[in-house]
Amino acid sequence: MVFMGTQEISSEGAIIEGGKDPQDRILTIPNLITVVRLALLPVFVWLLLSQNNRAAAAILLGTIGATDWVDGWFARRFDQVSNFGKVLDPVADRMLFFVSIVAIIIDGGAPLWFCIAVFVREILVSIATLVLAALGARRIDVTWSGKAGTFGLMFAFPLFLLAASGSSWEWVWLASAWICAIPGLALSYWATVLYVPLGLRALREGRSGQSES
């Protein structure tokens, strides 16, 4: 590590103003995008449960889900990756599922068994994440199967709502919903199985780092 006045140059050649790690930033555009996505969730609930407008709610939910990759792409493309964002983004995904699933169960716009299967999986992952964090495990990166499963599920729910909205294209939306739902559910549960050894390793490494310090 080389120091130049108020600047610090890391071994990778990145300049860190004031000797601070740029990943400690909170106010970044990707984080703002994630916050906006979270802020739109109450609007979705209002459209679905108060206005009984399944089509509009589906379009908004699909937009929120489709923009899930935008914050991550922007962070990597413009070097705005932050530790806060690494925590906020998966939290936003969990909130998206919890809030939307409960609202859709109340509305009845998607198969109940499917909603419950996704909800149970999210509960299990959330509890495991909290327990591992409390025990001192290091953070676990999202797996490819987890990302793919989440992507499929984020589109399945809006498509189910569109199918239940009375549209003349009901069969198209319903078929598309199942095409996203079945692989998405399978991949999400497979990712949950894979997180077991990853979680145990993260716990060992986290505790090992604490003992060394």
Checking if the pLDDT of 91 tops 90, the result is: no
Checking if the pLDDT of 12 tops 50, the result is: no
Checking if the pLDDT of 14 tops 50, the result is: no
* Cβ within 8 Å of residue 190, ≥6 positions away: 145, 149
- Per the CB < 8 A criterion, the answer to whether 16 and 8 are in contact is yes
* Average pLDDT estimate for 191-198: 87
Helices 68-77 & 144-163, crossing angle to 10 degrees? Answer: 140
State the amino acid at position 54 in one-letter form. Answer: R
Checking if the pLDDT of 95 tops 90, the result is: no
Task: Choose the weakest-confidence range: 16-25, 101-110, 178-187.
Answer: 16-25
Q: What residue segments make up the domains of the chain, in order of their start?
A: 26-212
Checking if the pLDDT of 2 tops 50, the result is: no
In this predicted structure, what is the pLDDT of residue 15?
38
DSSP class of residue 50? I
> How many CB atoms neighbour CB 82 within 10 A?
20
* Average pLDDT estimate for 4-25: 46
The architecture that CATH gives domain 26-212 is Up-down Bundle (1.20)
Note if the pTM is more than 0.85. no
- 139-174 tens-digit pLDDT: 777 778 888 898 899 899 999 999 999 888 999 999
Reported residue count of the chain is 213
Checking if the pLDDT of 183 tops 80, the result is: yes
In this predicted structure, what is the pLDDT of residue 75?
67
Q: Which residues of 39-53 are buried (b: 16+ CB within 10 A; e: fewer)?
A: ebbeebbebbeeeeb
Between residues 194 and 91, which one has the greater pLDDT?
Answer: 194
Q: Where are any strands of DSSP class E within the chain?
A: 2-4, 7-9, 15-17
